[in-house]
Structure 1
Amino acid sequence: MTGQNVVNVSADASTYVFDNDGDHSGDQHRHLARLLDPLTFGRLESAGVGPGWNCLEVGAGGGSVALWLAERVAPHGHVLATDIKPGLIPSREGLTVVRHDIVADPLPEGAFDLIHARLVLSHLPRRDRVLRRLCAALRPGGLLQLDEIDITRWAEPSVPDGHEVYGAYVRAMARVLGTAGSDPTWGARVAGEMARAGLVDVDPVRWTEVWRPGSAGLDLMISNSRHLQDRLVEAGMTPDRLREVREVMSAPGFSAPSFDIHSVLARRAFGG
């Protein structure tokens, strides 16, 4: 079928804090794509994703990875993109979009050559169960790639101006995520969890960079300060402090290390 095929499977509520219906959702996904697509695409390309593959993109968000995969597996492959709220995912040949709750809704077993999820499982309190379900949905020899973050070593800015307010913002963001059941440190444990789930050939990569004004990372942080303003105020910030931290992140000369980004590839054993 040509174009986007949207299928209703579930509309269960989610505790995910970055609602795809929010006023700043489009900006958030654009900045995430700028920040993470180069790493994600490079890893998928190194895995050999190519024509004819059957792929599942979980929590597809703005759809940049799903579109890349659909182009990569064309003309005979197929991509199934799922999300609780899939309205931001664009259309194209070879891509089916499903409204789907990865925690509760069924997946076909042994069906996919590749499953990819980015910044999804860390937001799910039952992520261990979801990981096992994803493993079961792989065909023998199929690949799972999980891209997640770890804020454990998320350092303060490298310049004194804005040190205090930026640090307060980072800590408030961590509290917002934790209150919603997310674990923004889970990236460091992804490789071990995948191995414990029975996957083999586990291949982790950790990536960091320095963010400066106009970078995808700081643009994402500025967008998040608006997207989550009410939650951030509940977590101890004030509207004035949020305006201040936006000014700090936009000021010439400001720089701050990124959080750690972990990209882990692993394979379902042929006998598994």
Structure 2
Amino acid sequence: MPGQNSATASDYVFDNDGDHSSDQHRYLAQLLDPLTFERLALTGVEAGWNCLEVGAGGGSVALWLAERVAPGGRVLATDIKPGLIPSRPGLTVARHDIVADPLPVDAFDLIHARLVLSHLPQRRQVLRRLRAALRPGGWLQIDEIDITRWVAPPTLGGREGELYGAYIAAMTRVLGAAGSDPTWGGSAAREMAGAGLVDVDPVRWTEVWERGSAGLGLLISNSHHLEERLVEAGMTVRRLREVREVMSAPGFSAPSFEIHSILARRACDG
């Protein structure tokens, strides 16, 4: 299960200081960057733009933006624990809690947040803050997931299907207990329109994960990262070890969760 960004100091389940944080961000970048970059490119981001990357995690998106806004542009990459974000010319890294800390108003040509708002009970408040931080006509891109239809496939029967399904269910309980909503991606476009954004353009993407894929690598990494919480949610250390073996086995495949990427703008009249 993803968890890109430590965006707030609340009971966020993924810690950027954890032993598996670097692996987590590497798999997330491999899995999500192609879609994220394709969508960001549609904004026309170019030299001179002022951009904000919220909950920048490992920094792959912030680096991509910094390359495109140079020369003359600026990218502000924020995270509650920003230690994994590399330093580059034109890229400013800052510790920032998107729920509690102030943002400048009418300041950014483009704001991007990936796998951030679903972890925040205050997501509607944050959406309004992000809209206000855009200059009139500026772009907001939100990338999120929806696990509503994410289940063990019918072709995965017996012990393998039971273990994989139990792991998905336990991960869902862990995120819910921390105030996250891993189904929020499916309603994000509607929420963005409700926050006053216009020209809302959502896309939905899925794929099949096979052995060695970034998606399964992410799930295996998460099973280590959140092992204590997963045990509290009903798994056992033995069952976690077994489900890792299942996901690493030759021939294993399963559909991904849905990934939603939504572009929208602040109206030019403010």
Same fold (TM over 0.5): yes
Describe the SS at the equivalent of 2:32.
helix
Q: Name the CA distance, whole Å, in 2 between partners of 1:182 and 1:172.
A: 14
* Corresponding letter in the other structure for 1:201: D
1:3 paired residue number: none
Which residue, out of 5, 9, 13, partners 1:17?
13
1:67 paired residue number: 63
C-alpha root-mean-square deviation of aligned residues, in Å?
1.1
- Asked whether the equivalents of residues 152 and 165 of structure 2 are also in contact (C-alpha less than 8 Å), the reply is yes
Q: Deviations over 1:74-127 (max 9, x none)?
A: 111100000000000011100000100000000000000000000000000111
- Asked whether the equivalents of residues 107 and 133 of structure 2 are also in contact (C-alpha less than 8 Å), the reply is yes
Q: Is 1:222 matched with 2:233?
A: no
- Asked whether the equivalents of residues 53 and 77 of structure 1 are also in contact (C-alpha less than 8 Å), the reply is yes
Which residue, out of 64, 75, 78, partners 2:74?
78
1:174 paired residue number: 172
* Corresponding letter in the other structure for 1:221: L
Deviation at 1:131, TM superposition (A): 0.5
Q: Deviations over 1:139-184 (max 9, x none)?
A: 0000000000000010313332611100000000000000000000
1:93 paired residue number: 89
* Corresponding letter in the other structure for 1:14: S
Deviation at 1:50, TM superposition (A): 1.1
- Asked whether the equivalents of residues 28 and 214 of structure 2 are also in contact (C-alpha less than 8 Å), the reply is yes
Q: Name the CA distance, whole Å, in 2 between partners of 1:42 and 1:48.
A: 11
1:243 paired residue number: 241
- Asked whether the equivalents of residues 52 and 108 of structure 2 are also in contact (C-alpha less than 8 Å), the reply is yes
The percent identity for this pair of structures is 79
1:33 paired residue number: 29
Q: Name the CA distance, whole Å, in 1 between partners of 2:44 and 2:11.
A: 34
Q: Is 1:159 matched with 2:156?
A: yes
Deviation at 1:12, TM superposition (A): 7.1
* Corresponding letter in the other structure for 2:138: G
* Corresponding letter in the other structure for 2:189: A
1:4 paired residue number: none
- Asked whether the equivalents of residues 202 and 264 of structure 1 are also in contact (C-alpha less than 8 Å), the reply is yes
2:181 paired residue number: 183
Deviation at 1:46, TM superposition (A): 1.6
Deviation at 1:13, TM superposition (A): 3.0
Summarize the Cα distance change of 1:116–1:12 in structure 2 as closer, same or farther, 3 Å threshold: closer
- Asked whether the equivalents of residues 99 and 122 of structure 2 are also in contact (C-alpha less than 8 Å), the reply is yes
Summarize the Cα distance change of 1:271–1:182 in structure 2 as closer, same or farther, 3 Å threshold: same
* Corresponding letter in the other structure for 2:262: V
Q: Deviations over 1:250-271 (max 9, x none)?
A: 0011111000000000000011
User: TM-score of the superposition, structure 2-length normalised?
Assistant: 0.95
Q: Is 1:121 matched with 2:102?
A: no
Q: Name the CA distance, whole Å, in 2 between partners of 1:209 and 1:256.
A: 9
* Corresponding letter in the other structure for 1:205: V
1:54 paired residue number: 50
Q: Is 1:198 matched with 2:219?
A: no
Q: How many pairs are equivalent?
A: 262
* Corresponding letter in the other structure for 2:225: H
- Asked whether the equivalents of residues 14 and 84 of structure 1 are also in contact (C-alpha less than 8 Å), the reply is no
Q: Name the CA distance, whole Å, in 2 between partners of 1:264 and 1:13.
A: 25
Q: Name the CA distance, whole Å, in 2 between partners of 1:237 and 1:102.
A: 32
- Asked whether the equivalents of residues 27 and 215 of structure 2 are also in contact (C-alpha less than 8 Å), the reply is yes
Q: Name the CA distance, whole Å, in 2 between partners of 1:46 and 1:243.
A: 42
Q: Name structure 1 gaps, 5 residues minimum.
A: 1-10
Q: Name the CA distance, whole Å, in 2 between partners of 1:93 and 1:149.
A: 32
Q: Name the CA distance, whole Å, in 2 between partners of 1:178 and 1:265.
A: 26
Describe the SS at the equivalent of 2:82.
coil
